[in-house]
């Protein structure tokens, strides 16, 4: 018993030690899982790749450490710095994100995505437990083209890095089998050593071979070289819909369905054919071929309907791949469709008939009936009716088709039908189901024959106020008499009777109209144009003198000037010395001697002008004898007063002494200076001496 107790104590101590030792180790849980990924999987040289490491099943509160390795196409290895992460209390998943190339890859031993090929990614864990390549099989691709395959008409963008600044390079594209040269560009790298070029894939590029794209520098050598194979495939044409030219058609019209096929580049196809399926309303399909219309710049499929086609909804569709541009580029990727309605045709009816007939005259007419496409309707029933507008008269007229003329013809004798306005209706209908039909109506008048207006005139070109004679006697009425003649002369005046006379007061162009009325109230109109010319004005003027001296005022008088059919609106005087005047009665003073021609020009209210001239002689004034005293003007006034007084005194003296007469002679000659003074004056005899002589003579 004693040994049993000791064993139990020893076992307890041993177990306690074991648990104590176990508690010193980290807790045990499921193993970590790792997944590394590179984005994007494919990119061009010089691109930055994002590397992501996702860790799940991580141990909380543990420090993890990883190192990333990139092995380039030349097997150069580029390693990252240590990437650390410490998990939280309950964190079992975390991720690390790096950029390559970038700060996390300070090593310059790798190509930094400047080589074409596959870049392998390897991740080693260094803590808490060292593990190698925790996520194997990760890689990404670097090329010089922006992608590996292209549709026709798209553009291949080429980009290469790692060249010297401004280094000459050659970009070449060849087919891989036949080595056909497609592109050869000699260009330069930019200052950063980057080469950029492009190639637009033509719509007819071969798709049976691949293409090798190479970039070769003049001094830079790469291993591997910048070379990449790309593939070209037929373009998938985008066709978004098919469009009818109209939502509704009549039978015999042409249905028109159009669409545009668009290349991936956005260009429209101008070649190829499309097979359009046209479904009838009751079933059954018609296959139409759409071809390119260069005028409308669309692909068009047409169907010419017939007079008997089924009416209703017709559906046109373009199935998947039903269009081919002729180079193997096809579309659409899914069917497109459109609908149009087909209606019965409405005939176009044209009636040829006189607008009026004499009462009891046979009415003859012809008509054409046509389908919408212009085809003549010539075999079905056609009807004609005459209806008296406003009253209950309705006559049916037989019609027949003249195949030689291509006309429907009809004739009707109205007998004692009342005069007035009638409606002639022609209609037709064919045997289709439903039928195609149409009609037209023309108004005709049963009446007497209208009169004919006609007149002559004595002249069509006259002066104002000249009488023009008009004679309307030639007017006549073929089945009656003219009962009234109504004239308008175009200037607001009117007249009546078969002959009239009229004169025009002003110039211009006037339309004379004669309106005649016959005994049935019918009228007719005739007209003629009369041109009336303006009469020029007459001119006459006089001068107050034809001979004068300088400084003397001459007056001019144009009282004899007149306009026979208007008024004078302006007088323009040219005095011959460079001076001008206006108005009918001007005056003028000449400052220099000479002979001057005075010219008067007058203009009337019709802008007619006329001129006349006259001459005037201007002399210098007579000069007074030398030594003659100069007397102010006011002394000359006093002198005149003295002479008047002496004459008055002499008169009384003569009366007192019975003097029968006395001769008094006074010569005064005055030349007025610029200062207004009398320059000379002279009395040949005094009044007293003259009176003395007279008395002696009487004795």
DSSP 319-373: EEEEEE-SSS-EE-SS-EEEEEEEE--B-EEEEE--SEE-TTPPEEEEEEEE-TT
What is the Cα–Cα distance from 188 to 161, expressed in whole angstroms? 12
Q: Which residue reads 């594209």 in tokens?
A: 173
Coil, helix or strand for 532?
A: strand
Locate the DSSP E strands across 40-89. 42-44, 49-56, 63-71, 77-79, 83-86
Q: What is the model's pLDDT at position 448? A: 64
479 pLDDT above the threshold of 80: no
115 torsion bin: left (phi>0), alpha (psi -120 to 50), beta (else): beta
DSSP secondary structure code for residue 452 in this structure: B
Mean pLDDT is lowest, of 315-329, 526-540, 629-643, for 629-643
Q: Which residue reads 């159009």 in tokens?
A: 258
DSSP secondary structure code for residue 105 in this structure: -
Q: Which residues contact 462 (CB under 8 A, 6 or more apart)?
A: 468, 504, 530, 531, 532, 533
| Best mean pLDDT range from 5-14, 443-452, 457-466, 640-649 | 457-466
Q: pLDDT tens digit string along 133-187?
A: 999 999 999 999 999 999 999 999 999 999 999 999 999 999 999 999 999 999 9
Q: Where are the alpha helices (DSSP H) in 545-613?
A: none
- The answer to whether 450 touches 515, Cβ cutoff 8 Å, is no
Q: Which residue reads 């395959």 in tokens?
A: 149
Binned at pLDDT 50, 70 and 90, residue 645 comes out as low
Q: pLDDT tens digit string along 379-410?
A: 879 999 999 887 767 889 999 999 999 999 99
Q: What is the model's pLDDT at position 637? A: 52
Q: What is the model's pLDDT at position 272? A: 98
The number of CA neighbours under 13 Å toward the Cβ of 406 is 7
Strand pairing partners for 670? none
Q: Which domains does the chain have, with CATH numbers?
A: 33-142 (2.60.40.10), 144-233 (2.60.40.1930), 243-343 (2.60.40.1930), 348-446 (2.60.40.1930), 456-533 (2.60.40.10), 542-619 (2.60.40.10), 633-698 (no CATH)
| Best mean pLDDT range from 207-216, 479-488, 614-623, 675-684 | 207-216
| Best mean pLDDT range from 43-57, 386-400, 460-474 | 43-57
Q: pLDDT tens digit string along 241-290?
A: 999 999 999 999 999 999 999 999 999 999 999 999 999 999 999 999 99
Q: Average model confidence (pLDDT) for the chain?
A: 86
Q: pLDDT tens digit string along 563-586?
A: 888 899 999 999 999 999 999 999
Q: Which residue reads 């039909």 in tokens?
A: 437
661 pLDDT above the threshold of 60: no
Q: What is the model's pLDDT at position 241? A: 97
C-alpha dihedral, 584 to 589 to 591 to 592, nearest 10° = 60
What is the Cα–Cα distance from 652 to 659, expressed in whole angstroms? 10
Q: What is the model's pLDDT at position 6? A: 41
665 pLDDT above the threshold of 90: no
Q: How many residues does the chain have?
A: 699
Binned at pLDDT 50, 70 and 90, residue 336 comes out as very high
Q: What is the model's pLDDT at position 564? A: 86
Of 533, 522, 515, the closest CA to residue 475 belongs to 515
pTM for this entry: 0.58
**How far, in Å, are 292, 301, 416, 453, 506 from residue 502 at the CA level?**
72, 73, 46, 19, 12
What is the Cα–Cα distance from 512 to 515, expressed in whole angstroms? 10
351 pLDDT above the threshold of 50: yes
Q: What is the model's pLDDT at position 358? A: 81
DSSP 35-46: EEEEESSEEETT
502 pLDDT above the threshold of 90: yes
Q: Judge residue 536's burial from the number of C-beta atoms within 10 Å of its C-beta, 0-12 exposed, 13-18 middle, 19 or more buried.
A: middle
Q: What is the model's pLDDT at position 30? A: 58
The number of CA neighbours under 13 Å toward the Cβ of 253 is 22
22 pLDDT above the threshold of 80: no
Q: What is the model's pLDDT at position 633? A: 46
Strand pairing partners for 407? 402
């Amino acid at each position: 018993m004693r040994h049993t107790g000791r064993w139990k104590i020893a076992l307890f101590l041993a177990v306690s030690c074991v648990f104590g030792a176990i508690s010193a180790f980290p807790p045990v849980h499921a193993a970590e899982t790792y997944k590394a990924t590179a984005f994007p999987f494919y990119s061009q040289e010089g691109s930055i790749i994002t590397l992501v490491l996702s860790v799940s099943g991580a141990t909380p509160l543990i420090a993890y450490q990883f190192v990333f390795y990139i092995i380039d196409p030349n097997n150069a290895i580029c390693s990252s710095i240590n990437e650390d992460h410490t998990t939280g209390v309950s964190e079992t998943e975390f991720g690390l994100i790096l950029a390559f190339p970038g700060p996390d890859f300070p090593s310059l031993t790798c190509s930094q995505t400047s080589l074409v090929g596959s870049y392998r990614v390897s991740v080693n864990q260094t803590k808490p437990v060292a593990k190698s390549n925790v996520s194997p099989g990760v890689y990404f691709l670097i090329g010089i083209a922006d992608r590996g395959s292209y549709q026709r008409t798209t553009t291949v963008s080429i980009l290469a890095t790692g060249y010297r600044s401004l280094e000459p390079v050659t970009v070449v594209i060849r087919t891989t089998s036949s080595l056909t040269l497609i592109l050869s560009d000699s260009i330069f790298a930019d200052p950063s050593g980057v080469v950029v070029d492009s190639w637009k894939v033509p719509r007819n590029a071969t798709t049976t071979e691949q293409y090798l794209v190479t970039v070769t520098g003049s001094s830079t050598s790469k291993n591997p070289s910048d070379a990449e194979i790309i593939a070209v495939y037929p373009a998938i044409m985008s066709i978004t819909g098919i469009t009818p030219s109209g939502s509704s058609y009549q039978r015999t019209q042409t249905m028109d369905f159009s669409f545009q096929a668009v290349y991936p580049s956005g260009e429209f196809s101008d070649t190829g054919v499309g097979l359009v399926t046209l479904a009838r309303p009751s079933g059954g399909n018609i296959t139409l071929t759409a071809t390119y219309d260069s005028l409308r710049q669309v692909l068009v499929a047409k169907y010419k309907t017939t007079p008997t086609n089924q009416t209703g909804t017709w559906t046109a569709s373009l199935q998947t791949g039903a269009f081919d541009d002729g180079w193997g580029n096809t579309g659409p990727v899914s069917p497109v469709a459109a609908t149009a309605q087909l209606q019965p045709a409405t005939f176009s009816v044209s009636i040829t008939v006189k607008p009026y007939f004499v009462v009891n005259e046979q009415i003859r007419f012809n008509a054409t009936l046509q389908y919408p496409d212009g085809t003549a309707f010539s075999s079905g029933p056609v009807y004609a009716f005459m209806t008296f507008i406003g009253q209950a008269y309705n006559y049916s007229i037989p019609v027949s088709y003249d195949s030689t003329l291509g006309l429907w013809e009809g004739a009707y004798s109205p007998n004692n039908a009342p005069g007035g306005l009638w409606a002639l209706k022609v209609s037709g209908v064919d045997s289709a189901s439903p039928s195609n039909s149409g009609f037209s109506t023309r108004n005709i008048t049963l009446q007497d024959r209208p009169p004919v207006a006609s007149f002559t005139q004595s002249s069509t070109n006259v002066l104002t106020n000249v009488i023009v004679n008009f004679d309307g006697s030639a007017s006549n009425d073929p089945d009656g008499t003219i009962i009234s003649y109504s004239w308008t002369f175009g200037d607001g005046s009117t007249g009546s009777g078969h002959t009239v006379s009229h004169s025009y007061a002003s110039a211009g162009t006037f339309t004379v109209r004669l309106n005649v009325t016959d005994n049935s109230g019918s009228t007719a109109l005739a007209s003629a144009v009369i041109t009336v010319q303006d009469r020029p004005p007459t001119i006459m003027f006089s001068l107050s003198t034809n001979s004068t001296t300088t400084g003397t005022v001459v007056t001019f008088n144009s009282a004899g000037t007149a306009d026979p059919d208007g008024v004078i609106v302006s007088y323009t005087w040219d005095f011959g010395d460079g001076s001008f005047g206006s108005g009918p009665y001007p005056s003028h003073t000449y400052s220099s001697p000479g002979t001057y021609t005075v010219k008067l020009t007058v203009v009337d209210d019709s802008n007619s002008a006329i001129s006349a001239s006259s001459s005037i002689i201007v002399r210098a004034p007579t000069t007074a004898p030398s030594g003659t005293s100069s007397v102010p003007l006011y002394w000359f006034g006093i002198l005149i007063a003295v002479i008047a007084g002496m004459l008055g005194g002499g008169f009384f003296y003569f009366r007192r002494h019975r003097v029968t007469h006395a001769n008094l002679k006074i010569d005064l000659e005055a030349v007025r200076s610029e200062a207004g003074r009398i320059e000379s004056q002279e009395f040949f005899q005094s009044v007293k001496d003259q009176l003395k002589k007279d008395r002696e003579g009487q004795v």
